[in-house]
Amino acid sequence: MPAMTNGERAPAPDYGARLARAAAAAETAGVDAVVVGPSQDMVYLTGYEPLPLERLTALVVSAGAQPVLVVPELERPGALLAPGAPAVEITGWRDGGDPYHEVARIVGPAAHRLAVGDQLWASHLLRLERELADAEFEAAGPLLSVLRARKDPWEIAALARAGAAADAAFERLLAEGLEGRTEREVALALAALLVAEGHQTADFTIVASGPNGASPHHEPGDRRIAAGDVVVLDFGGKLDGYCSDMTRTVSVGEPAADVKATHQIVREAQQRAFEAIAPGVTGEEADRAARDVIDAAGYGEAFFHRTGHGIGLDVHEEPYLVAGNSHPLEIGNCFSIEPGIYLEGRYGVRIEDIVALTGDGARRLNEAPRDLLVVG
């Protein structure tokens, strides 16, 4: 599918087909019904994104039956406007009623194995377990994550638009300069630039300068960025419902020789992992491609997180590029590649791109320079 401009909207997905695939997957797994609460799983299957509340909202999907969305009556008008509403039966329940009994009725007395969405509140799950005392409950995550991990072409296009907008925000930030600004000031500016470039939300902006860069998830603070600092910038948000997530490491002023060398090691590790991506390669093998470079350079202990995570409606989802993941990558998978080296008390270096595995091979969805840029 051709790339779209920020002003264009992605076409609506085929929610009926998605629900049918979920029902088929449940039947293959021997699951009588899948029960999903407010979450990105519900968004994926129906386009409906309610708030998770004490009032139960639940989507029930089972083979051979129409999917049913159980919603509080006061939320029913909004549910009817969801893009996937025509593919489901929507039933409302009034305050004082028993939605758990309604879910049990929909599931039916013969159901003995239920898969429940990972984000369903424990309070709702416990009530369902009491209502369906003879049923066994398990997580629906393994079943649904496989479906969500295979991105449609338009989903990849949406992720590409989000990535291009993040690239543009990064370019504009560097043009403003970093020296003399606090991490928090830069983080706020970066969030505003993400929105200016088309994001509906800016969900995180890590700005880690100097020794703070050795903490991969550093919270931006009042440290003032100075000449000689190495700065890790990791940021992202949502555009048309799909996530961006990229990291670049820059130097304020001319970098020291060791910083250049460390950055080059990470740059090579990221490139090696990218080159390793192909259908059938496992998440573990992709992780190892990056890790071997850093291990060989003597920094193995300083790279202590996975090489990548899947991305889509959630910023972290399947597949994961990590030791122990023997599941092969497939066409349609989208994920980050983000090796790093973290030297406590000194600085950190990380480079992150979002990558899509397509029929034509691996494709980067971020194109901002990966070299060590020098900024003012």
DSSP label at 223?
A: P
* 3-class DSSP assignment, residue 238: strand
Distance (Å, whole) CA 288 – CA 277: 11
Domain boundaries 15-148, CATH class: alpha beta
Scan for tokens 């076409």, then name that residue.
11
Torsion on CA atoms 154, 156, 161, 167, rounded to nearest 10:
180
Q: Does pLDDT of 153 surpass 90?
A: yes
The predicted pLDDT at position 195 comes to 98
Enumerate the CATH 3.90.230.10 domain ranges in the chain, comma separated.
150-375
Residue 248: exposed, middle, or buried by beta-carbon count in 10 A (0-12, 13-18, 19+)?
buried
Q: What is the number of other CB atoms lying within 10 angstroms of the CB of residue 218?
A: 19
C-alpha R_g of the chain: 23
Indicate the angle between helix axes 257-276 and 283-296, nearest 10 degrees: 150
Distance (Å, whole) CA 336 – CA 353: 6
Best CA proximity match to 163, nearest among 339, 336, 306:
336
DSSP characters over 132-201: TTT-EEEESHHHHHHHHHS--HHHHHHHHHHHHHHHHHHHHHHHH--TT-BHHHHHHHHHHHHHHTT-SE
The predicted pLDDT at position 10 comes to 54
Distances (CA, A) of 281 to 95, 221, 309: 51, 40, 15
Confidence grade of residue 6 (pLDDT, cut at 50, 70, 90): very low
The predicted pLDDT at position 9 comes to 53
Best CA proximity match to 103, nearest among 112, 95, 91:
91
Distance (Å, whole) CA 249 – CA 17: 42
**For 122-137, what is each residue's pLDDT tens digit?**
999 999 999 999 999 9
Average pLDDT value for residue range 289-294: 98
The predicted pLDDT at position 3 comes to 34
Share of the chain above pLDDT 90, in %: 95
The predicted pLDDT at position 1 comes to 28
Enumerate the CATH 3.40.350.10 domain ranges in the chain, comma separated.
15-148
Going 92 to 137 to 315 to 46, the CA torsion angle's sign is negative
Distance (Å, whole) CA 33 – CA 61: 6
Distance (Å, whole) CA 215 – CA 233: 12
* 3-class DSSP assignment, residue 368: coil
The predicted pLDDT at position 7 comes to 42
Confidence grade of residue 11 (pLDDT, cut at 50, 70, 90): low
Average pLDDT taken over every residue of the chain = 95
Question: Is residue 303 a contact partner of residue 291, using CB atoms and an 8 Å limit?
Answer: yes
Best CA proximity match to 322, nearest among 275, 284, 348, 356:
284
Share of the chain above pLDDT 70, in %: 97
Q: What is the rounded end-to-end Cα distance, in angstroms, of the chain?
A: 39
Six-digit token string for 366: 């971020």
Tell the CATH topology of 150-375.
Creatine Amidinohydrolase (3.90.230)
User: Of all helices (H) and strands (E), which one includes residue 246?
Assistant: strand 246-252
**For 32-72, what is each residue's pLDDT tens digit?**
999 999 999 999 999 999 999 999 999 999 998 999 999 99
The predicted pLDDT at position 211 comes to 98
Confidence grade of residue 237 (pLDDT, cut at 50, 70, 90): very high
Question: Is residue 250 a contact partner of residue 333, using CB atoms and an 8 Å limit?
Answer: no
Q: Does pLDDT of 8 surpass 80?
A: no
Q: Collect all residues with Cβ–Cβ distance below 8 Å to 133 and sequence separation of at least 6.
A: none
